[in-house]
Amino acid sequence: MKFKYFIIIIIFTISCKNKEKDKSLEKIKENDYIEKQGYINKIENGLTYARESYYHVTFTIIHDSIKYEKFIYKEGDFLTNEGDPVIVYVNINNPKDFYLGYKGIKDKKNLRTYLIKTSQELSPMFKNKLGNAP
């Protein structure tokens, strides 16, 4: 009989934790973020000395033709290639709050300008989508 109560308490505890996680996701509002063009500069992956794997993506957010910001994304859930253009969602109220959305080209003009100024190249998959890119 005690075992049944124990199982019921465990199930109740686990279900309560899942509801808390769902509430935290509701705090993210789509209207709080804007799409910006990004570019994947570098990808590092491997093992640490403790044999834990890591996957770091260094990318640039292209705000306009002259303002760029470089960041490192260490969460490791966005698989991509060096040279890929990406769409980055940036919080309107806090520009340091962002996340990588998906691969793609949103702002051809500013992406082309960035590639020329920094002597970077697009990955072969996206070269024909930009047109006269370097």
CATH value at residue 125: 2.40.50
57, part of any domain: yes
How many domains is the chain partitioned into structurally? 1
- Does any domain span residue 120? yes
Residue 51, in any domain of the structure: yes
Residue 87 lies in a domain: yes
* Of 52, 53, 49, 70, residue with least CA distance to 61: 70
Query: Has residue 93 been placed in a domain?
Result: yes
Q: pTM of the prediction? A: 0.69
pLDDT per position as a tens digit, 28-70? 677 889 999 999 999 888 887 877 788 888 899 988 877 888 8
**Cβ 95 vs Cβ 32: under 8 Å:** no
- Report if residue 74 sits inside a domain: yes
Domain that holds residue 110: 30-130
Q: Are 7 and 45 in contact (CB under 8 A)?
A: no
Could you tell me if residue 44 is inside a domain?
A: yes
